[in-house]
Amino acid sequence: MSDDERPSKIGPWTVHTTELSYENPWIRVETSTVAHPDGSPGIYGVVRYANLAIGVLPIDESGHTWLVGQHRFPFDAYSWELPEGGGPRAEDPLDAARRELAEETGLRAGNWQVLGRWDVSNSVSDETAIGYLAWGLTEGEAQPEPSEALTLKRVFFPDLVSMCLDGEIGDAFTHLMVFAALERARRGDLPDETARLLLR
C-alpha cells in the first residue's frame, strides 16, 4: 500500500478515501469514506468554498445602515441582508470588504473594524465568514455585478435589530454582524461616538 492509499486521520475520524463529487468556480464537494469515532464505517460529505464570505455593517453619522435585498435561489425567497459577497482567499479580506461595499451600495468608508470571524456551517462546509463595521461614510453610485438584481434600503440601526429579532431577516451572517457590533459597543471595543450610534 502506497502512502497515498494509507488511511489518514482527521481528529477522531479515520479517512480511507476522498473523491471529488462536484466542482464549479465557487464550491467543491468532496465525499470521503471514513470510520466514525466509534469505529463504524460511513461517509462524510464536505462542501469546500473557493472564497471567504465577506460582510459589512456600514453605519452613518445619523445611526442608519444599508440593507441589500435580493431573491435567494436556494430558498426561493426574497432576503434583506447587510452588504455581503465573496473574497478570494489569497486577497486581503479588508480589500474584499471595501470592494463589496462599494459595488453593492456605492458607499466608501474611512474607518473599518473587524467584528468577527465565523465558521458558518462547520458540520458540512469549510466556509469562513469575516464581518466588518464601517463608518466615516461617503456615498457614491452602486455598481453591482450584471448578474445581480439588487434593491437598497437605508434603515435606522435599532430598526435593523428589531427586524432580526422579529424574524424579518433570516440571513445568519447579518445576525452575526448586528449582534457582534452591539456587544462590541457595549464592551467599549469601539470609538465612543461610533458606539453611541449603535446603542441609541
Q: How many CB atoms lie within 10 A of CB 179?
A: 15
DSSP state of 91: S
Per-residue confidence (pLDDT) for residue 7, from 0 to 100: 86
Least confident of 51-60, 92-101, 146-155, 175-184: 146-155
Which uninterrupted H or E stretch holds 197? helix 192-198
Burial (0-12, 13-18, 19+ Cβ within 10 Å), 120? middle
Per the listing, cell 426574497 goes with 78
Per-residue confidence (pLDDT) for residue 38, from 0 to 100: 96
The SS3 of residue 158 is helix
Per-residue confidence (pLDDT) for residue 176, from 0 to 100: 98
Quick one: angle between helices 172-187 and 157-165, nearest 10? 130
Which uninterrupted H or E stretch holds 88? strand 84-88
**125 - beta bridge partners?**
47
Per-residue confidence (pLDDT) for residue 12, from 0 to 100: 95
pTM for this one?
Answer: 0.92
- Mean pLDDT taken over the chain: 94
Per-residue confidence (pLDDT) for residue 1, from 0 to 100: 44
Per-residue confidence (pLDDT) for residue 149, from 0 to 100: 84
Model confidence pLDDT, tens digit, residues 75-111: 999 999 999 999 999 999 999 999 999 999 999 999 9
Asked if residue 200 has pLDDT above 90, the reply is no
State the first-to-last Cα distance of the chain, in angstroms, to the nearest integer: 65
**Spatial distance between the Cα atoms of 131 and 97, rounded to a whole number of angstroms:** 8
Burial (0-12, 13-18, 19+ Cβ within 10 Å), 199? middle
**Spatial distance between the Cα atoms of 74 and 191, rounded to a whole number of angstroms:** 38
Residue (of 15, 8, 26, 20) closest to 147 by Cα position: 26
